[in-house]
Structure 1
Amino acid sequence: MVETMPRQQRKKERTRELIRDTALELFAAQGFRDTTISAIAERADVAVRTVTLHFPAKEDLLFADDPFSFASLTDWLAAKPAGTPTLDALRDWMATTMRDLDATGASAEVWRRRGLRSQLIVADEDLRGRARAAYYRYEQVIAAGVAADLGLAADALAPRLAGITVITGLRELYETAEAQPTGGRGNAASDPEQLLALVDRVLDYARAGLERLTA
């Protein structure tokens, strides 16, 4: 089998994953504010400097390595076939990301981490503010795509409302459907297909609003 990543890089990635996962477990057990970088380093059996090299701020430990990243979304939208509506491409991106996680066998662990993270964010006002601020650029790229679909200016009301509606709706799914106790069945955090069905409801709501505004 041909190695796709040098040994040193694989070791670095494993260390990063260990630190991230250790931090999440400590955050869940002790609370975000009461968990120190030193405690994370000690539990992971690494130096404090190793933690800060990978994650310069404690908040970075919480928000890092999301498969639904902004870079992934922008790359997907840039490569979408001509004529594909932005909201359809967004749905395809989410579905493909979920399928790719299943294909690698990482799905269960990713959803478990996202469930833990969502509970921590919902419980802390400062973390909620940071998470919501991070969504702004997602709103902008969706609005720009919808505007291009409709032949409107990027700052026109309809595409901007569409971007806000979609991203706010997805954020609410993250803070409600995914913010459930982990490990069980019956909620979207443990069932990606159920989560995707909720995503479809958000997108349908946004499409209905666009249709009304642009009729």
Structure 2
Amino acid sequence: MIDDLVKDYLHGQLRSTRRALVWKLDGLSEYDVRRPLTTTGTNLLGLVKHLATVEAWYFGEVFGRPFPEPLRRWQDADGSDLWVIPTESREQIIDFYQRAWVHAGATINELPIDAPGHVPWWSRPDVNLFTIMVHVLQETARHAGHADILREQVDGRTGVMAEYEEQVDTEAREAHWATIERAAQEAAGGSQHAELSDTHRTVGPAL
């Protein structure tokens, strides 16, 4: 009984975190979902593509239940699972992610939580379903957090889930930012940091 409760809880958390990540694409142009937003090229649609690949591998090959489509390894040197070529549409990437959810769900529902698996690219390759569910949930939550920040950089939109989207109050945000900036300058020794701080202020979205 407790095993089923644990499995259901982890699966529920994974479902909600997936939805939050995909929601971060809503309302953005093709350019904005694809463009690099960090010095290493991190981008919103690439995160979705990456996590689709992660789920397809971890809930597939690891348990002898391969995903029914050819997959790239996400460790490829070119990082091709982390960005999207022009001929791949947003709809195709999201559909791939959703198909990976279905495949993962079948593995989760049909196997006991202590079902053995094998991850050949791990230093300790022998695992079980519980280990993989926690690992994939952790990976998804981490990248959903990345997506939160990336989306805020693009247009200031924030919120954990669509139903909890925060309304933008430009004046309140500016005042809050200024309060934090003053505290940082005071802690760092005062006005000699003002020029650097002004430069940092221009990085965020125009609200």
Q: TM-score range by the shorter chain?
A: under 0.3
In the superposition, the TM-score normalised over structure 2's length comes to 0.27
The structure whose RCO (Cα within 8 Å, separation 6+) is larger is 2
Greater C-alpha radius of gyration:
2
Between structures 1 and 2, the one with greater helix share = 1
